[in-house]
Amino acid sequence: MREILATLYPYLVLLYLIDCLVYVDKQQVCFISLLGKGFRLVTKGIHLSGLFPFSQSIAAGNLNLHPSESGIYYRSNDSETRGLLNYPEEFRFIPYAYIDNPSPGENKVILNKDVAVKTPSSLFAKKLADRLAGTARTEFAERRELIRNFMKEDADIERIKEIHHSCKHRFGYLEILCTLLFIEFFILLPIALYCLLLPKFILNALLANIGVLYACTVSYTYYLLGKIYGKNSGLKTPVMLSIILSPVAAIHALGYLTKDLFTLFDPAALAAYLLPIEKFKDYMRREIYRIHRACGESDEFGWAEFWQIKLASIRGLLDRLDLKEENLTAQPEKTEDSADSYCPVCRTEYRPGFSFCSDCGVLLTAYAQ
């Protein structure tokens, strides 16, 4: 028994390490914290997220789907894009009359026969399908107000705080279970397996203890999934399968539970709540730039109106945090005398001879004399 477990142990550690990685799809952004505090924002790709039992990764939807009063502008993940900015010609416009009873599927919303919008979760798909159906049913004159209300709901920081606080003590119990599992699996188990001087009954007692802790973690996670997300969230099966098929993944139960906690909120509101203030300002500077540029691109089918409503929502968020748009986008202090322009998004300084930022691809702004 000891020999078999000693051979298997490195493979279990490898399984754990694989489970520490998170894949962020194009239609989402993710806030990652290795220590449960001090989040950072990551976008498309594979990232290290769950090295410890108290690590968290919180996903938010970041779809290229913009509702206007007449229909939706949609760009699929596979479309060719020119980078950071939103150009209306890269989007497909679908009038509400052509959206045929939008129905939520597993991580997607089917709009009509030829359009299926990929979503970051089934929860998100349900919300999107309900909203599109609701907007299509609403009179044209009232749609602008409806879209404004949806944005307000998505950017409600107070609601985010409320949800977070209501879950805190529940997550606290789970954190204790996962931390005990982590200590027993990574510290005590290798000692009991590889230190042959220790009597066998110690290993047996430890295995029994790990078994009990695992059973408690699995059942408590199952209970919390129902309590936090409701019966029909579509999350129970994938999460439970993950931690049953790969038992070491139970150490990450907290990460599995927090991942979709705020998926229905605007990433900007989550950035305001989770990111350090300077990182949040960087995020907002980029968003404001993108929105202003998008506003001027077209006024067809409500494109400009959508971005103006979005800008108003972003300004509302800044007001709640006592921040001013003009301060965020103000010209930065020059650190090199030879610099004559800067990137309005990442604020990198450039010497004469450059027109575009090499990181962001946007047109540089000349320093005012």
DSSP-derived 3-state class of residue 363: strand
Which residue number, 203 or 357, has a Cβ lying nearer to Zn ion? 357
Which residue number, 81 or 232, has a Cβ lying nearer to Zn ion? 81
Residue 125 identity: A
| Whether the Cβ atoms of residue 58 and residue 30 lie closer than 8 Å to each other | yes
CB of 66 to Zn ion, least distance (A): 24
What is residue 356's DSSP assignment?
Answer: B
Distance, in Å, from the CA atom of 304 to the CA atom of 302, rounded to the nearest integer, reads: 6
Which residue number, 248 or 345, has a Cβ lying nearer to Zn ion? 345
Which residue number, 291 or 343, has a Cβ lying nearer to Zn ion? 343
CB of 348 to Zn ion, least distance (A): 5
Which residue number, 170 or 286, has a Cβ lying nearer to Zn ion? 286
Which residue number, 264 or 343, has a Cβ lying nearer to Zn ion? 343
What does the binding site for Zn ion look like in residue numbers (CB under 5 A)?
343, 345-346, 357, 359-360
| Whether the Cβ atoms of residue 101 and residue 181 lie closer than 8 Å to each other | no
Which residue number, 265 or 283, has a Cβ lying nearer to Zn ion? 283
Which residue number, 91 or 280, has a Cβ lying nearer to Zn ion? 280
Burial 81-99 (b: 16+ CB within 10 A, else e): eeeeebebeebebbebeeb
Distance, in Å, from the CA atom of 134 to the CA atom of 153, rounded to the nearest integer, reads: 15
| Whether the Cβ atoms of residue 358 and residue 347 lie closer than 8 Å to each other | no
CB of 346 to Zn ion, least distance (A): 3
| Whether the Cβ atoms of residue 249 and residue 263 lie closer than 8 Å to each other | no
Locate tokens 């509302």: which residue? 316
User: Pairing state of beta strands 108-112 and 103-105?
Assistant: antiparallel
Locate tokens 């991942």: which residue? 259
Plot region of 31 (φ>0 → left; ψ -120 to 50 → alpha; else → beta): beta
Distance, in Å, from the CA atom of 30 to the CA atom of 47, rounded to the nearest integer, reads: 10
Distance, in Å, from the CA atom of 214 to the CA atom of 100, rounded to the nearest integer, reads: 46
| Whether the Cβ atoms of residue 128 and residue 109 lie closer than 8 Å to each other | yes
Output the six-digit token pair for 271: 């950035």
